[in-house]
Each structure stands twice: as C-alpha cells, then as structure tokens.
C-alpha cells in the first residue's frame, strides 16, 4: 500500500497534504487530501472523512471548506477523497451527474461502469486501510460527513457501518436517491432497473429497513435551488421520526448549495464530531 505525496503545506500548525496511489478497487490512480494537526509524537488522532458532491474532486473542500482551524483546535485528522475514478480509459457520460465526478459511492454492477466505479469498496475498505497505514489516526474514533452526493455517501456509509462511525453528519444531502432525478439516473445506470438493489444506497430506505446510528446532524439551506426536486430533506425528517432515529436537521435561512454555505457551518460540524470522537 504505497502512496505518493503530491504536495504538503503548513497550515494552522499542522500539515495539509495531497497524495496519489493506485487503487485496486477502481483499477485507476486515485487522489486524496489529508490535514494532520500538530500532535505529540506517537499520538493517534480521531479521523473525520469528508465525501464531496457532484463534479467535485478532493480539491474543492480542501481549498474552500475552511475546516483546518477547527480540526487543529480539536485535534482531528480530516481526509478528503475524490468522487470517482479518473483516467482516459474510464467510461464517462456527457452529463455532469453521471460518470466521472459522479460515482455516488456505489459499487456499480452494470457494464461498462462495473470495472471501475467501485467507490463503495474504495471508501469503506481500501482508503481507510491506506490512511491507517500512513497517518497517525485512531481507527476506533471515526466520523463521516459530506456534501450533496457526498452527504448521501456519508449517510448511507454511516448507516451501513454503524459500528465503525461514532458520528455521522451531512451538508445538503441527497437523502433518497430512490425518489429524485439524480438518484434515478445514477442508481439506474450503475445498478440496473431493479430498485430493490438501490435500497442499500438510500438513507431513508436504510432507516426504514432498520439501520441506525447513534445520532445524525444535517444542515440544509432553505435557498438551495436543488432542495425541492433533488434533496428532499423532508423525507429524511419523516424517516427519522417514524423510526425513532435521533437526528438534528437544521434548515438554515438564506443559504444555498455552495461552499459559502458549507464553510459557514463547517466548524459546527467539526466540533459536533469532536465531542463524539473523544477518547
């Protein structure tokens, strides 16, 4: 499990770095960023995974997310993977919402996507093993968060792996791909027409089917142009209420879908995770 360092910069007393490696899950090179705050020699720190949204790479949140001050304050390693496999030989789609930049954190089963689009295995298995081998992280203290498509990823991965993550949060998540155009296109294309196979990639369906986490935190802007047709936050509120899943779901007045919104509430999320990731 070798990695190559692309860059490293001092920031808020820690190191912000970017790395590449060859992924066995996707069969392609993959890139991710890591912020490691200052810490005592030999100390292991909790880790917070951030999953990005449609069209994004690791770079969007790394450059715009404004997480480093909060992570330095609370002593949290922050890991940001890419959203899909990349490369000239990787299949793609003309739309922004499918193919490269839009992996939806699933293991595709349909041709031609199945060979490379295995982002579930990459995020749940390969990247955690790689990070544990190369960075000072305490894998008994993991949290996960994300934005939009990445919020969908954070919720579903957290719900499917409840024993692994002490904390799960999201910004503007796609809460039910079974019930929105983005999800219908992506899950139909990657997994085929049988919607029963989609349920493990739908947070509301997972909760209805019995999956639980200790708590959820979700922030959603009420001026988000995708709220009504794609994100449908009310479906998550209804699913949590019906199942008794603890959740704090906050509608933030005047905020849209952008990193202006994410960066405003990032420190709140880091602090919320930090409270739950204490030793």
Residues marked as catalytic? 148, 224, 257
Number of CB atoms found within 10 A of residue 83's CB: 25
Token pair of 76 as six digits? 């949290």
Separation between Cα atoms, residue 14 and residue 26, nearest integer Å? 30
Nearest to 174 by CA among 189, 158, 156: 156
């Amino acid at each position: 499990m070798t990695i190559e360092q692309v860059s490293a910069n001092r920031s808020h007393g820690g190191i912000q770095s970017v790395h590449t490696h060859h992924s066995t899950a996707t069969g392609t090179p993959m890139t991710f960023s890591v912020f490691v705050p200052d810490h005592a020699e030999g100390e292991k720190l909790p880790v917070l995974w951030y999953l990005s949204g449609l069209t994004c790479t690791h770079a969007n949140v790394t450059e715009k997310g404004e997480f480093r001050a909060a992570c330095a304050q609370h002593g949290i390693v922050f890991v940001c993977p890419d959203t899909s496999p990349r490369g000239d030989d990787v299949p793609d789609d003309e739309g922004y919402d499918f193919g490269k930049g839009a992996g939806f954190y699933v293991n595709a089963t349909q041709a031609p996507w199945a060979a490379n689009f295995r982002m579930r295995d990459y995020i749940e298995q390969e990247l955690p093993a790689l990070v544990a081998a190369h960075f000072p992280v305490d894998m008994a203290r993991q949290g996960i968060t994300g934005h939009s498509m990445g919020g969908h990823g954070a919720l579903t991965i957290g719900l499917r792996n409840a024993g692994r993550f002490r904390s799960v949060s999201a910004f503007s998540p796609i809460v039910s791909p079974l019930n929105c155009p983005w999800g219908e296109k992506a899950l139909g294309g990657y997994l085929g027409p049988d919607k029963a196979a989609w349920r493990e990639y739908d947070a509301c369906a997972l909760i209805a089917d019995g999956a639980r986490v200790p708590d959820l935190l979700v922030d959603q802007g009420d001026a988000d142009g995708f709220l009504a047709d794609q994100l449908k936050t009310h479906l998550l509120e209804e699913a949590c209420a019906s199942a008794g899943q603890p959740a704090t779901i906050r509608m933030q007045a005047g905020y849209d879908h952008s990193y202006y919104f994410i960066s405003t509430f990032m420190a709140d999320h880091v602090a919320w995770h930090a409270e739950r990731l204490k030793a």
